[in-house]
Amino acid sequence: MDGWSDRAPPRKIFGNTYYVGTCGISSILIVGKHDAILIDGATDKAPAAIEANIRALGFKLSDVKRILSTHDHNDHAGGLARLQRDTGAPVLARAPAAATLHRGASDRSDPQFGQLGKFPPVANVRVIADGQTVKLGELELVAHATPGHTPGSTSWTWRSCEGTHCVDIAYVDSLTAISDKQYRYSDHPGYVAAFRHTIDTVASLRCDLLLTPHPTASDMFLRFAGTKPLIDADACLAYSRQAGKALEQRLLDEKNGKAP
């Protein structure tokens, strides 16, 4: 896809939170007094762009002490192995994603398995749990299990301040119910129940400022440019509602023989 590995201009989003990703895939840097946390590595060709962006903002790769991940597909996790080598930071992921990141390949539990590319395996992955807080210096990010797009999908929330103005930032994983030609969601009622629970989880997140792994999914660049509001306390609710409708439509399409 166009621009998934091409460098986008780095920029401050709010407070200690920066965009360091590519034109098509997000990578988010959260910076503390001494250390930083990076979320997502885009494609296997993207690390040079992400690293150049981190440096252009005045930070060092060695500042990055933890790398987090939203979902274990090659367009978001392809760059993690290289970023880990260059920063020395462990990658933190929930159990289903950790297994995929270790292998550099998904398995049949992923709805898109049949059409997914492999990616460079990540050597040092630490397993984290739903609700766990990742602490690094004064930084605190909370992991939220949001399975659906992948079994290991994880969303992240943290609070960021500019002076006395503080906002809750939610980096919410993709919620799209898409699959390869074999997978039917309706054959996996437990997975559908978990997906619906995810939709509810996202609706209830503390969320003043929504970020997404695909910038276009929440108009991030338009919001960075001021064309749309950057801060919108209803953004997670709207994102969740739209995803919920799409999931129910997909189930209906399966019932009516229109999908997969």
Binding residues for Zn ion, rule: CB under 5 A, are 73
Of 2 and 163, the one with the shorter C-beta distance to Zn ion is: 2
Which residues lie closer than 8 Å to 91 by C-beta, 6 or more apart? Answer: 67, 68, 69, 80, 84, 101, 122, 124, 125, 126
Q: How many CB atoms lie within 10 A of CB 165?
A: 10
Joined tokens for residue 148 = 């659906």
The Cα 173–Cα 94 span in angstroms is 13
The Cα 164–Cα 17 span in angstroms is 16
Q: What is the number of the residue whose Cβ is closest to Zn ion?
A: 73
Closest approach of Zn ion to the CB of residue 4, in Å: 11
Closest approach of Zn ion to the CB of residue 15, in Å: 28
Of 15 and 213, the one with the shorter C-beta distance to Zn ion is: 213
Closest approach of Zn ion to the CB of residue 48, in Å: 22
Contact between 49 and 22 (Cβ < 8 Å)? yes
Of 85 and 109, the one with the shorter C-beta distance to Zn ion is: 109
Of 14 and 171, the one with the shorter C-beta distance to Zn ion is: 171
Closest approach of Zn ion to the CB of residue 151, in Å: 12
Of 72 and 208, the one with the shorter C-beta distance to Zn ion is: 72
Closest approach of Zn ion to the CB of residue 234, in Å: 25
| Closest among 72, 1, 73, 59 to 30, alpha carbons compared | 59
H or E segment to which residue 156 belongs: strand 154-162
H or E segment to which residue 200 belongs: helix 189-203
Of 40 and 63, the one with the shorter C-beta distance to Zn ion is: 40
Q: 116-127 burial, b for 16+ CB within 10 Å, e for fewer?
A: beebbebeebee
Closest approach of Zn ion to the CB of residue 63, in Å: 28
